[in-house]
Amino acid sequence: KAGVTQTPRYLIKTRGQQVTLSCSPISGHRSVSWYQQTPGQGLQFLFEYFSETQRNKGNFPGRFSGRQFSNSRSEMNVSTLELGDSALYLCASSEATGPQYFGPGTRLLVL
Amino acid sequence: QQPVQSPQAVILREGEDAVINCSSSKALYSVHWYRQKHGEAPIFLMILLKGGEQKGHDKISASFNEKKQQSSLYLTASQLSYSGTYFCGTETGMGSGTYKYIFGTGTRLKVLA
């Protein structure tokens, strides 16, 4: 099976802009989770979608939002970008529960 | 709420052993271990369910004490390729409608030649 794919891989934006990141899970996986990771830091949980519904949410401001489509693909949107949003954004998929399989990530740089 | 891993960081020489611990305050259904190499995404290593010890690949194994809500990852005769950050991933609320998957704080491991 093909692995988790994320697009774009790299992105440069300026403060105040918005951005949409995309994640295609492993075929058959219905859960998609999103994480933010800054250099030397752990995995900061953003949210998880399961069967098109947000099942869990982390402690990020409302500028961060997501959605999941009927084919399990997921998008994450960040509005009004701030310098501190510069990070690696990782998505991970799982069947419904169980181990998570990560995509390569999207590196976002906010100038 | 986030599982705490210890130590936060460890430096080893090739051939030495290491133990990484993951401790949760919540009842756990399972524990998973991941390794993330610099500049890459985390890779799933192994799963531990209640009552089981799972032997992984190479000389890496782990245990899960469900009573103490703790898991330990054992790296034996470490190799340079073991360097990276290790995360435990935990499942709680299975079957209760409150399912959560939570990663631990991470342990940075560096193996020196």
Q: What is the per-residue pLDDT across B59-93, written as a single tens digit (0 to 9) for each?
A: 899 999 989 999 999 999 999 999 999 999 999 98
Selected residue with higher pLDDT from B84 and B95: B84
CA pair distance A82, B99, nearest whole angstrom: 31
- Give the type of residue at B26: K
Alpha carbon distance B33, B48 (integer Å): 8
Q: Which two tokens stand for residue A108?
A: 């976002």
Q: How confident is the model at residue B97 (pLDDT cuts 50, 70, 90)?
A: confident
Ranges of chain A with pLDDT below 50 = none
Cβ of residue A45 closer than 8 Å to a chain B Cβ: yes
**Measured between CB atoms, does A85 come within 8 Å of chain B?**
no
pLDDT class for B55, splitting at 50, 70, 90?
A: low
**Is B101 close to A103, i.e. CB distance below 8 A?**
no
B100 close to A (CB below 8 A): yes
Of the partner residues A43, A56, A101, the one whose CB lies closest to the CB of residue B100? A56
Is residue B105 within 8 Å of residue B5, measured between CB atoms? Answer: yes
Burial category of A18 from C-beta neighbours within 10 Å (exposed 0-12, middle 13-18, buried 19 and up): exposed
Is the pLDDT at B112 greater than 80? The verdict is: yes
Is omega for the bond preceding B7 within 30 degrees of 0, making it cis? yes
Cβ atoms of B79 and A35 closer than 8 Å: no
A55: left (phi over 0), alpha (psi -120 to 50) or beta: alpha
Contact (CB, 8 A) for B41 and B85? no
User: What's residue B56's pLDDT?
Assistant: 66
What was the pLDDT predicted at B50? 75
* Confidence at residue B54, expressed as pLDDT on a 0 to 100 scale: 66
Set of chain B residues whose Cβ sits within 8 Å of the Cβ of A43: 42, 87, 103, 106
Predicted pLDDT of residue A17: 98
**Distance of CA A1 to CAs A89, A106, B101, Å?**
23, 21, 23
Helix H or strand E segment including B8? none
> Chain B: residue nearest A99 by CA?
B32
Q: Name the 3-class secondary structure at A105.
A: coil
Distances (CA, A) of B109 to A9, A74, A80, A93, B83: 27, 32, 36, 26, 5
Q: What is the mean pLDDT of residues B98-103?
A: 94
Predicted local distance difference test score (pLDDT) of residue B101: 95
The more confident residue out of A47 and B52 is A47
User: Is the CB of A33 inside 8 Å of chain B's CB atoms?
Assistant: yes
Task: Please write the tens of the pLDDT for every residue from A45-74.
Answer: 999 999 999 999 999 999 999 999 999 999
Between B44, B94, B104, which is nearest A99 by CB? Answer: B44
Confidence of residue B57 (pLDDT cuts 50, 70, 90): low
Residue A88: name the closest of A27, A46, A32 by CA.
Answer: A46
